[in-house]
């Protein structure tokens, strides 16, 4: 059993729970949880607070502050149209797989584990369970555990316009346009990510050089990054 609402939960996972609650404010929270009960304290678990005598954790961070690095989210819902816990899991796993996020160590869901340790593919694990909830486990890196940027479950906000999110291989990815600047967006460094994929100078500004590089990819006029461009950049020719 995992108990919930412990203030020792790391800020990045508090932000994740907040984002899930905004997505589905009336969802069932019966299987939600963060801090482990006595049974968890007798085993190695990220639900146990680190830097705490008498409990065991998979990793220690550097700050010597008792913190919990795992969050469980109930699968029940109700969820909005075309959204459920599996969608949430795949958006978050996908963002890690594609390099948009690096805050998690493991995800456990439906008898499988996806981990940064092996590139975020799913591995089946007999007896691991987690069918009524998903387990999200933060890394123990100080910067990651305190990072409260959005997790990609809502439309990504900007200081100006909203970034439209579109489906790509089950993931939420942004539609970007000429003139966009990472400084105005939500902290994902989206344009820098594109520039690295294009192997050009990475300045975070979607200007003429980036547009010219996209044109060389041969998908469109270079004035926007939409689903076909993402497909080409990531080699997702099977879509």
Residue predicted with more confidence, 227 or 29:
29
Q: Assess contact for 6 and 32: CB atoms under 8 A.
A: no
Mean pLDDT over residues 88-92, rounded? 90
Task: Based on the fold, state whether residues 216 and 141 are members of the same structural domain.
Answer: no
Average pLDDT, the chain: 82
The domain containing residue 36 runs over which residues? Answer: 2-145
Q: What is the pLDDT of residues 126-181, one digit of tens each?
A: 888 899 999 999 998 888 888 998 888 875 444 444 456 555 555 556 788 888 88
Task: Based on the fold, state whether residues 15 and 102 are members of the same structural domain.
Answer: yes
pLDDT of residue 185: 61
Task: Based on the fold, state whether residues 82 and 136 are members of the same structural domain.
Answer: yes
Task: Based on the fold, state whether residues 194 and 104 are members of the same structural domain.
Answer: no
Q: Is residue 76 included in any domain, yes or no?
A: yes
Task: Based on the fold, state whether residues 25 and 125 are members of the same structural domain.
Answer: yes
Q: Is residue 191 included in any domain, yes or no?
A: yes
pLDDT of residue 27: 95
Task: Based on the fold, state whether residues 73 and 126 are members of the same structural domain.
Answer: yes
Task: Based on the fold, state whether residues 84 and 116 are members of the same structural domain.
Answer: yes
Q: Is residue 40 included in any domain, yes or no?
A: yes
- Note every long-range contact of 46-50, with CB atoms under 8 Å and residues 24 or more positions apart, other chains counting: 46/70, 46/105, 46/106, 46/137, 46/138, 47/2, 49/6, 49/8, 50/140
Task: Based on the fold, state whether residues 99 and 54 are members of the same structural domain.
Answer: yes
Instruction: Please give the tally of structural domains in the chain.
Output: 2
Task: Based on the fold, state whether residues 121 and 210 are members of the same structural domain.
Answer: no
How many H helices and E strands in the chain? Answer: 7, 11
Whole-structure pTM value: 0.70
Strand partners, 3: 35
Mean pLDDT over residues 16-45, rounded? 83
Q: Assess contact for 34 and 6: CB atoms under 8 A.
A: yes
* Through-space distance between the first and last CA atoms of the chain, rounded to whole angstroms: 40
Task: Based on the fold, state whether residues 141 and 179 are members of the same structural domain.
Answer: no
Q: Is residue 158 included in any domain, yes or no?
A: no
Task: Based on the fold, state whether residues 24 and 116 are members of the same structural domain.
Answer: yes
Residue predicted with more confidence, 194 or 227:
194
Q: Is residue 239 included in any domain, yes or no?
A: no
Q: Of 39-53, 74-88, 140-154, which one has max mean pLDDT? A: 74-88
Q: Is residue 230 included in any domain, yes or no?
A: yes
Task: Based on the fold, state whether residues 107 and 191 are members of the same structural domain.
Answer: no
């Amino acid at each position: 059993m995992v108990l919930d609402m412990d203030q020792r939960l790391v800020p990045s996972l508090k932000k994740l729970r907040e984002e899930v609650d905004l997505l589905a404010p009336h969802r069932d929270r019966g299987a939600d949880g963060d801090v482990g009960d006595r049974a968890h304290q007798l085993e190695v678990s990220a639900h146990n607070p680190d830097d705490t005598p008498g409990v065991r954790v998979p990793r220690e961070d550097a700050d010597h502050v008792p913190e919990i690095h795992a969050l469980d989210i109930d699968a029940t819902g109700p969820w909005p149209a075309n959204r459920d816990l599996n969608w949430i899991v795949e958006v978050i796993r996908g963002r890690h797989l594609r390099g948009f996020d690096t805050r998690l160590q493991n995800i456990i869901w439906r008898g499988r584990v996806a981990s940064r340790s092996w590139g975020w593919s799913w591995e089946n694990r007999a007896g691991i369970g987690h069918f009524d909830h998903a387990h999200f486990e933060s890394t123990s890196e100080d910067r990651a555990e305190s990072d409260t940027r959005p997790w990609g479950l809502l439309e990504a906000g900007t200081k100006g316009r909203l970034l439209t999110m579109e489906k790509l291989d089950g993931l939420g990815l942004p539609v970007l346009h000429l003139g966009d600047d990472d400084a105005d967006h939500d902290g994902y460094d989206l344009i820098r990510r594109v520039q690295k994929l294009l192997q050009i100078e990475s300045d975070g500004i979607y200007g003429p050089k980036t547009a010219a590089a996209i044109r060389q990819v041969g998908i469109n006029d270079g004035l926007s990054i939409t689903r076909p461009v993402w497909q080409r950049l990531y080699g997702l020719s099977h879509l």
